[in-house]
Amino acid sequence: MHFLLRISGKLLHLKKKSIGLVILVFIILSATTAFLLEPDTFHNWFNALYWVMTTMSTVGYGDFFAATVTGKVFTIFLYIFGIGLLSLVIGKIIDAMGEMQRRRGAGTLSFHGHQHVVLINWSRKTQAAVEEILCYDPKCRIVIIDESGRHPLEAAEQVHFISGDASSDDILRKANIEGARAAIVFGDTRIDEASLTDGKTLLIASSIERIAPQVHTTVEIMQEKNIQNFKHVQVNEFVLSHDAISRLAVRSALQEGNSEVITQLLSRQHGDDIYEIPRSSRWNTYGEAFQDLLQQGATLLSDRGDLGINRKLNQLIPADARLYIVADEATYRKIRQG
């Protein structure tokens, strides 16, 4: 018994690859030994391997069994050592799965996917962003980077978590920022001073632009005076944290129902939404595009940020135009397919 305990203790301290190699060698040697001991019982080496595997797994179908005393002694050997080794492997697999889940929750696992969205700094706004992204694209993979030590949405399989400082190159590369589709940097709500919050956001944005300049980066800015600094690091888009809320509140107060329209356009979860569409070869002017889309159930809204194209209906659509419409999802998909 002491001998068995010593062997078990040594096996438990072996690396996973070493244990796998030991098991493989043990199975091959056992199958070879069984076939040599009872060639008339197994007929070929593969049948002996099959018998060893069913014996070690305690299945024991009974289609093959040892007929000689020597074979039965070897069977007892397999019961003692083989089943123990297999149990050890199963235990290691369960431990590995548990360790993987623990590391996932702690945010220490690197992300290896592509075309994902990286969200930086966890807050209620980040949670709302996750819901909006999944509503927009249910298959989209999301990576959250935050300095907390625990996954904020551990139950969500599509959401990966990286724990650490997002201004660090190592942390950004753990999130595979180079392969990301977009990155959104929210202000750190744990910092009370707005200027310090923007300073940290600026540092993160600079790191992203240096490592992955091709990634579309959007940042949340606390103070309007800092906008020029973010333009300097070539951030694609920025959103003033309290600006949109303040303007929406004023419009709601002065123009009843105004906020309802804007809120609907801000979210894909209710009603119509804003979509970008490709330019059709049938359209030469904005007017032709406007009328064609109107007949399909959509309204041409803008070319990039230009909302005044309804006053330019006779103008030719430039080659680099990016057209946006207001429509429901079914109409949008129909237009895309057309």
Query: CA 306 → CA 112, 212, 231, 300, distances in Å?
Result: 38, 28, 20, 11
Q: What is the pLDDT of residue 92?
A: 73
Q: What is the pLDDT of residue 3?
A: 44
Query: CA 60 → CA 12, 101, 212, 261, distances in Å?
Result: 27, 34, 57, 69
**More confident position, 167 or 261:** 167
For residue 121 the two structure tokens come to: 């700094």
Q: What is the mean pLDDT of residues 187-215?
A: 91
Angle, alpha carbons 326-328-332 (nearest 5°): 80
Buried b (16+ CB within 10 A) or exposed e, 23-57: beebbeebbebbbebbeebbeeeebbbbbbeebbe
Q: What is the mean pLDDT of residues 276-282?
A: 89
Q: What is the pLDDT of residues 115-140, one digit of tens each?
A: 999 999 999 889 988 988 887 788 89
Structure confidence at residue 1 as a pLDDT band (50, 70, 90): very low
**pLDDT > 90? residue 182:** yes
Average pLDDT along the chain: 83
List own/partner pairs for 7-10 with CB under 8 A and 24 or more apart. Answer: 8/84, 8/88
- Domains contained in the chain, CATH given: 2-104 (1.10.287.70), 117-240 (3.40.50.720), 272-337 (no CATH)
Q: Across the strands, what pairs with 216?
A: 182
Q: Across the strands, what pairs with 136?
A: none
Q: What is the pLDDT of residue 57?
A: 77
Structure confidence at residue 76 as a pLDDT band (50, 70, 90): confident
Q: What is the pLDDT of residues 14-63, one digit of tens each?
A: 566 677 787 888 889 989 999 999 888 888 999 999 988 888 877 777 78
Backbone phi, psi, residue 150, to 5°? -140, 140
Q: What is the pLDDT of residue 171?
A: 95
Which of 20-29, 142-151, 187-196, 316-325 bottoms out in mean pLDDT, i.e. has the lowest? 20-29
Q: What is the pLDDT of residue 116?
A: 95
Residue percentage of the chain with pLDDT more than 90? 36
Q: What is the pLDDT of residue 270?
A: 58
Q: What is the pLDDT of residues 301-310, one digit of tens each?
A: 999 888 888 8
**More confident position, 146 or 227:** 146
